[in-house]
Amino acid sequence: MRSNLFSREALQFKVSKDSLRFSRLNWNLVFKPRVKSFFEQAILSCNEAGHLSFSIFESSNTENEGTLQLTAPKQYTGITDFIDEPNRKSPSSDIEKGASLVVSFTAVGTVLILITPYTSDRLNSNGKNIILKNNLRPEQLTKKITYQAFKRLFYLFAINKCFWLLLYERT
């Protein structure tokens, strides 16, 4: 009875080890290039349309993890403060920075999709990151999910712009 239990546990361990190896291969050979290609096409489309000029950051410091990040540039909020200090009298512009869409492959073989929102001296969001999808297997990362995450990033930009316009009108 006991040897049967150990053999069953050994089989489950082998299956989970093979599953993790399959996820890592799947991420590196299929889905990471697909997401990177989507990000590159999005950058070209935005540049052609005259929108924000994004950049891609790729991190793969270890063999078992990897991150692709589509980062938006800094942008002016439209608010200017005039600094009246003895050694410096000049306008200071408020700038937003840090918005990005992150697709990350974790050490346990799952994919995490999140958005880091813009931050500035005047406005910080309540949470640091907005998690869109968590614990996805690489084969569950479809083009549709990637596109929806990209749309949500632009939705966040629109909300931010509307908030700044409302704030500016009230001051």
Per-residue pLDDT of the chain (171 residues; tens, 9 = 90+): 556 666 666 666 565 667 888 888 888 888 889 999 998 988 888 778 776 678 898 987 777 788 999 888 776 666 666 666 666 666 666 666 778 889 999 888 899 999 887 776 666 666 678 889 999 888 888 889 988 898 888 777 766 555 444 444 444
Residue 31's closest CA among 148, 155, 136, 153? 136
pLDDT score recorded for residue 34: 92
DSSP letter (8 states) at residue 60: -
pLDDT score recorded for residue 82: 62
Token pair for residue 62? 């270890």
pLDDT score recorded for residue 37: 92
Q: What angle do CA 45, 99, 124 make, to 5 degrees?
A: 150
pLDDT score recorded for residue 112: 93
pLDDT score recorded for residue 168: 46
CA distance 165 to 87: 32
For the beta carbon of residue 108, count every other beta carbon within 10 angstroms. 10
Amino acid 130 reads I
Residue ranges of domains in the chain: 2-170
- For residue 125, give the 3-state DSSP assignment: coil
pLDDT score recorded for residue 78: 61
pTM of the model: 0.72
